[in-house]
Amino acid sequence: MSAHIQKPAQADAGAKPRPNIGTRSLRGFLRVREASILVVAILLIIYFESSNSNFLTRANLQTLSQFISAPVIIACGEIMLLICGEIDLSAGMVFALAPFIMYFAHNAGIPLIVAFFLALIGCGAIGLFNGFVSVKLRVPSFVTTLGTMFLINGFTLTISAGFPVDTPTNGLFTFLMGNSGFQEIIWAVVIVLVMHGALRNTRWGLHTISVGGNLIGSAESGINVTRIKMGNFALTGALAGLAGILEASRIGSTDPLAGGSPMMFLAVAAAVIGGTSLMGGTGTIIGGLFGGLVLGVLQDGFTIDGINAFTFNIIIGAAILIAMVFNIHFARLRTRGRF
Amino acid sequence: MSQVQAAPVPAAAPARGVTEVLRGVDIVKRFGAVTALNGISLHLNKGEMLGILGDNGAGKSTMIKILTGYQAPTSGTLAINGQQVALKSVDHARALGIECVYQDLALVPSLSIYHNMFLNREPLRGGPLRLLDNGAMRRRAQEALEDIGVNIPNVNEEVAMLSGGQRQAVAIARAVYSKAKILLLDEPLAAMGARESGLILDLIDRLKKRGDLSLIMIAHNYAQTLEVCDRIMMFQHGEVTFERAAAETSVPELLDVVKQNYKVIRGAH
Ligand SMILES: Nc1ncnc2c1ncn2[C@@H]1O[C@H](COP(=O)(O)OP(=O)(O)O)[C@@H](O)[C@H]1O
Ligand SMILES: [Mg+2]
């Protein structure tokens, strides 16, 4: 009877009427989860440029790029951690400590390049320690890194006696670190591209998503979940250290009060606004760059428009909330699984 | 009644002409105060399909996780292909040809079907960067699922979008299309409807005919288990209370075993 209306189950796929090409490409674009936040960034840039002609000047773009570089570099680490279900609240303090490690190592007679790598290794080791306490000793990383946040801050203040020092310089090293206008953002973009590729195209990245998405299942599949988590803590420490040294090199001064928790929160905010969920299992590095861009454009635009810092905080707070609501409730509407 | 439980299982003495691929002797597993396995011995022959029945909490999944190297036994020994081994990790067991469909399926909802199918054995493109070969994964995942016949529209889809039965099919396809020699299935049909169960049982039948694959399947449906398995074991409270060739037992007998306390059964002979 009804046999002729019953299609074989497999024939269903693709049988829906196709919408016109415009709708389809719009949908295709928005399906890329980073796209919506990029659209927001561009709309904000258009708004600020039209409200103030000083926005898209070379000098202002330089200010903007310098503001977002460090949080974006740190966000690359935080995003990896958030994806695998962890967080590092101490990254802003590692940011401040790193150039001091380099400074003291260099003062002790170690060549600057070597001192630089020592500082990165030291920061990576701090990350490993965070990972060890969180994963092996099973203290939630929120609490672990809250502790190390204070600890590292106190340590930096102690070794510096609370005073800034001059960042050591040397021709080639300082050139690479970039004391010129746009060098820091070049570092940030290169790191973003490398990390984006790593997240989507390497086993490390895939297993980071897997561990955050299903911890027990990942272990049952034979993934070394401890190694993945501790590795991402170490990575975040090293990236925070690198960002701190880049900033100290650009400014020429190494300040114990640089960075700190505002820097860490900026990085986490960039990650979250960019589309990384705090619940683990999903996230995007490029999104973190765009999230950082949105924050930077807001901060910078409001500054040249003469709106004060209080308003800025209100806007950032609202942006985080809107981004999270959007992530949780609208992300499901898009077709997923496009890696 | 059954004497299987009472006689200590010899360390290695399979019948002639039969190759034994797996043997566990006196496996004990404790979780703190809970004894999940209280001295279980079992074996599996090449090409054989062993069915394990038993109530929730009987220790079936725990036994499976020990065989996959996911958990280490508190005591007891394992031999694979006649060689005594202490499984160090899931990868170690996998290298010995053991694959598993866990009861929880071990799928990652936020990853695509094809990434799930190759989780922790991803093919890599050549070259120093060791990048994932997503194309190969997509293609092979598609082929594997088509081969089973379960309707899964698109391997790019996130596992989060799949029904329970579809998820089970993905987990089963993953285990089957590896190079498994010993396949462990922990309640593989639990979330499946009749049609999907049928497809999976067909698949298992085809695998059995290949001859070199040995299976352990945990199940709840007695009739179905008797139909597809060669031998049946009953776990109760972490012990084996019944073991017999499927052809020599029946659903009523199995139900009878369940009704009685295992201690009664042990004391009866
Ligand atoms: N990781 C664990 N920690 C503590 N107890 C566990 C763990 N895994 C299993 N158990 C306990 O071991 C017993 C057997 O569980 P399980 O092997 O899952 O039974 P089955 O699969 O037969 O339903 C249960 O009492 C269960 O609560
Ligand atoms: Mg179970």
pLDDT digits (tens, 9 = 90+) for B32-88: 999 999 999 999 999 999 999 999 999 999 999 999 999 999 999 999 999 999 999
Q: Is the pLDDT of residue B230 over 90?
A: yes
Q: Which of B120, B134, B151 sits opposite A221 (nearest CB)?
A: B120
Which of 227-286 (A) contact B at CB < 8 A? 281-282
Question: Which residues of chain A are within 8 Å of residue B160 when distances are taken between CB atoms?
Answer: 336
Beta strands of B46-195 (E only): which ranges? 49-54, 75-80, 83-85, 98-101, 182-186
Q: What are phi and psi of B61, to 5 degrees?
A: -65, -35
Question: Which residues of chain A are within 8 Å of residue B124 when distances are taken between CB atoms?
Answer: 203
Q: What are phi and psi of B49, to 5 degrees?
A: -125, 115
Distance CA A113, CA A173 (A): 7
- For residue A330, what pLDDT is reported? 63
Name the closest ligand to CA B65. Answer: 1
Closest chain A C-alpha to B243 CA, distance in angstroms: 28
- For residue A305, what pLDDT is reported? 81
Fold of B1-97+181-192+212-269: Rossmann fold (3.40.50)
Please report, for residues A84, B136, B159, B175, B188, the alpha-carbon distance to residue B119 in angstroms, rounded to integers and kept in the order given: 15, 13, 13, 11, 19
Question: Which residues of chain B are within 8 Å of residue A10 when distances are taken between CB atoms?
Answer: 151
- For residue B35, what pLDDT is reported? 95
Ligand 1 within 6 A of B31 CB?
yes
Distance CA B94, CA B106 (A): 15
Ligand 1 center from residue B54 Cα (angstroms): 13
Instruction: Kindly report, as residue ranges, where domains of CATH 3.40.50.300 are found in chain B.
Output: 1-97+181-192+212-269
- For residue B10, what pLDDT is reported? 47
- For residue B258, what pLDDT is reported? 86
pLDDT digits (tens, 9 = 90+) for B115-151: 999 999 999 997 888 999 999 999 999 999 988 887 7
- For residue A35, what pLDDT is reported? 82
- For residue A11, what pLDDT is reported? 36
Question: Which residues of chain A are within 8 Å of residue B70 when distances are taken between CB atoms?
Answer: 219-220
Domains annotated for chain A, with CATH where assigned, are 34-335 (1.10.3470)
- For residue B191, what pLDDT is reported? 77
pLDDT digits (tens, 9 = 90+) for B161-196: 998 888 998 999 999 888 889 999 999 888 788 888
Of the candidates B84, B37, B94, B87, which has an alpha carbon nearest to the alpha carbon of residue B62?
Answer: B37
Contact B185, B217 (CB under 8 A): yes
Chain A: residue whose CA lies nearest to B115: A206
Which of 138-157 (B) contact A at CB < 8 A? 151, 153-154, 156-157
Of the candidates A8, A76, A88, A56, which has an alpha carbon nearest to the alpha carbon of residue A304?
Answer: A56
> Is residue B16 very low, low, confident or very high in pLDDT (cuts 50, 70, 90)?
low
> Is residue B209 very low, low, confident or very high in pLDDT (cuts 50, 70, 90)?
confident
Return mean pLDDT, chain B. 88
- For residue A26, what pLDDT is reported? 61
Chain B: residue whose CA lies nearest to A194: B129
pLDDT per residue as tens, chain A (339 positions): 333 433 333 333 334 455 566 666 665 555 566 788 888 889 989 999 898 878 889 999 999 999 999 999 999 999 999 999 999 999 999 999 999 999 999 999 999 999 999 999 999 999 999 999 999 999 999 999 999 999 999 999 999 999 999 999 887 777 777 767 788 999 999 999 999 999 999 999 999 999 999 999 999 999 999 999 999 999 999 999 999 999 999 999 999 999 999 999 999 999 998 989 888 999 999 999 999 999 999 888 888 888 777 787 888 788 778 877 776 666 555 544 333
pLDDT digits (tens, 9 = 90+) for A219-239: 999 999 999 999 999 999 999
Contact B189, B168 (CB under 8 A): yes
Least confident of A162-166, B7-11, B93-97: B7-11
> Is residue B28 very low, low, confident or very high in pLDDT (cuts 50, 70, 90)?
very high
Classify burial at A262, counting beta carbons within 10 Å of its beta carbon; exposed 0-12, middle 13-18, buried 19 or more: exposed
Q: What predicted TM-score, i.e. pTM, was given to this entire model?
A: 0.87
Classify burial at A24, counting beta carbons within 10 Å of its beta carbon; exposed 0-12, middle 13-18, buried 19 or more: exposed
Contact B179, B97 (CB under 8 A): yes
Ligand 1 center from residue A215 Cα (angstroms): 18
Contact A149, A89 (CB under 8 A): yes
Quick one: tokens of A2? 């009804």
